Amino acid sequence: MAEPIEVRKVPLHHVSDASELAKLIDAGMLDADRVVAAIGKTEGNGGVNDYTRILADRAFRDVLVAKGTRGAGEVAQVPFVWSGGTDGVLSPHATIFATVPPAAAEVSSEPRLSIGFAMSEPLLPEDIGRTAMIAKVAAAVAAAMTEAGISDPADVHYVQTKTPLLTIQTIRDAASRGHTVFTENTGESMDVSNGTAALGIAVALGEIAMPADSDVMRNRGLCSAVASCSSGVELDRAQVVVAGNVRGIGGRYRIGHSVMTDALDTDGIWTAIRNAGLALPDRPHPSDLDGRLVNVFLKCEASQDGRVRGRRNAMLDDSDVHWHRQIKACVGGVAAAVTGDPAVFVSVSAAHQGPDGGGPVAAIVDLGPRSA
């Protein structure tokens, strides 16, 4: 049975800092044993060798072990999804999700936030970029929906995955067993892993039919409006967090989503916030959020035609600074301008996640009573 959710956003004061999580636990805001997921940004390079993700992960897990009753092995199963790279004004932070005993939660018959988690079957290096991975991710998404108490895909507003990318070692492993891989470019494999996971999400939610191998990274018309996919060297399977709304679960929080049609689409962000249940004027300002926005979660991608609103840009031709970093900084600035807060979750490499040049947006708002 799904339980109500408490969700808090905390800053990271340095790359291995989890002090703000510890403070929330000490203050009784969160129960260490009830933390079920965290999604955060770290200040590394966002690439294959971004070990800031591992440092942050270790710090947060150490706090849960120290302040709870779960052992290190059990805490290791809690899904922490870390996205590296806080280019531009983006600020390192984490959004933490914890269950609340039903008796202690605000009672509501309205849709309220629920979280489900699952791990896929192991993803072999030869699966990445192919239908084998799509099928395994789709099965894990379905399992996470069940855990969240969500039966209708329309109630799913955000699916965050973390999947393995290819390294020299795993490429050699596949070859030793007589298999080929989608690409031997380890950097490119990040985009491939993300895109393939997104197709698995889209299949699970009925957004698309099962694609062919030839569609992966080529047919960009196949996409999910709620997928947010990251990849790294930390794991060998898909880690899936499904966030949606369930009636009768209770709690303070609600999630909504929309898509940005391009890198400058502020309306896409505002629409996601409205979709989460927050009333806003026709021309909203950050002050209209009234402290009720917990966080927004965005994916972004440089448009394949090298243009934004008809204007040419040089991101895809730049040999000095990879387009991953440029588009992340751009969209991070746009999102921070909307929310008034640089601690927003903006992740790059959005193949099959929203329209080309844009990306999905999810927003979590606090709809609980305001204190006097």
Active site residues: 162, 230
For 60, phi then psi, to 5°, come to -70, -40
**161 by DSSP, 3-state: which?**
strand
Q: How far, in Å, CA of 262 to CA of 268, rounded?
A: 9
The beta-strand segments (E) located in 261-354 are: 293-300, 307-308, 311-312, 345-348
**100 by DSSP, 3-state: which?**
coil
Q: How far, in Å, CA of 286 to CA of 263, rounded?
A: 19
Q: What angle do CA 364, 87, 303 make, to 5 degrees?
A: 80
What count of Cα atoms within 13 Å lies in the side-chain half-sphere of residue 307? 5
Per-residue CA distances from 159 to 29, 113, 274, 337 (Å): 25, 13, 19, 24
Using only the alpha carbons of the chain, give its radius of gyration.
19
Per-residue CA distances from 242 to 26, 121, 201, 307, 342 (Å): 28, 17, 10, 32, 24
203 close to 209: Cβ distance less than 8 angstroms: yes
DSSP 27-87: TTSS-GGGEEEEEEEESS--STT-THHHHHHHHHHHHHHHHSS--HHHHTTS-EEEEE---
The candidate with the shortest Cα–Cα distance to 201, out of 178, 230, 180, is 230
For 91, phi then psi, to 5°, come to -115, 135
